């Protein structure tokens, strides 16, 4: 995967955390930098950590699934993207203003599970952003990029939620889901030299 693909992938993966952050911003009476930083760090760190874990787990089984790697990457990204698209049409839930560590931990896990599956795809479709770096270094750099992107989107989401309300939450999930499905399709078509 190229630098641009990772950049787009990171933005797409951050849409769940972005949507939750908008809800947090909606529920807070007054948004502070501390609220924005709290959401950004919780969501960003977990979103960057999960693909690294997925990559390691994927490497443990990579030799057994190499022949199907493009199909696996496509299936995982299509499932994640399809789920995000489905969620974008679900009814709204009541916003909760708690920024307590226990709640933020649970939300960070819930919004980053998709990134764990993407990490598995990194083990079957190598990350090659910079040719002078090893695959492992490129993958860890991709995880860092995803972390930073999610941190920024989440912090911005808290502020946006306090300003604009819930009207962008479902649109963000829909856009993120469509992009993930398209990236998966591109991987599959590239495998067959169609793209």
- Average predicted confidence (pLDDT) for the chain: 84
pLDDT (tens digit per residue) in 13-44: 998 889 888 878 877 778 899 999 999 999 99
Q: CA 180, CA 74: separation in Å to the nearest integer?
A: 9
Q: Which sequence spans correspond to the domains of the chain?
A: 3-191
The fold adopted by the segment(s) 3-191 is: Growth Hormone; Chain: A; (1.20.1250)
Q: CA 73, CA 77: separation in Å to the nearest integer?
A: 6
Three-state DSSP at 89 gives: coil
Task: Report the chain's C-alpha Rg in angstroms.
Answer: 17
Q: Which of 63-67, 103-107, 150-154 has the lowest mean pLDDT?
A: 63-67
Considering the entire predicted model, what is its pTM? 0.77
Q: Which residue has the higher pLDDT, 46 or 166?
A: 46
pLDDT (tens digit per residue) in 168-177: 667 776 776 7
Neighbours of 137 (CB within 10 A): 13
Give the per-residue pLDDT at 130.
94
* Residue 117 near residue 57 (C-beta atoms within 8 A): no
């Amino acid at each position: 995967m190229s630098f641009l693909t990772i950049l787009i992938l990171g933005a797409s993966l951050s849409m769940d955390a972005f949507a939750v952050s908008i809800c947090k911003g909606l529920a807070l009476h007054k948004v502070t930098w501390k609220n924005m930083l709290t959401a950004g760090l919780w969501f960003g760190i977990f979103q960057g950590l999960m693909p690294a874990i997925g990559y390691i787990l994927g490497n443990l089984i990579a030799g057994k699934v190499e022949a199907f790697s493009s199909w696996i990457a496509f299936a995982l990204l299509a499932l994640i993207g399809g789920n995000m698209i489905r969620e974008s049409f679900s009814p709204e839930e009541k916003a909760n203003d708690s920024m307590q560590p226990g709640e933020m931990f649970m939300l960070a896990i819930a919004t980053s599970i998709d990134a764990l599956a993407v990490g598995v795809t990194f083990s079957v479709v190598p990350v090659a952003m910079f040719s002078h770096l090893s695959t492992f270094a490129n993958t860890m750099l991709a995880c860092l990029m995803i972390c930073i992107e999610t941190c920024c989107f989440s912090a911005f989401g808290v502020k946006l939620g306090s300003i604009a309300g819930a009207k962008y939450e479902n649109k963000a999930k829909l856009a993120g889901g469509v992009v993930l499905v398209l990236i998966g399709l591109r991987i599959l078509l590239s495998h067959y030299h169609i793209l």
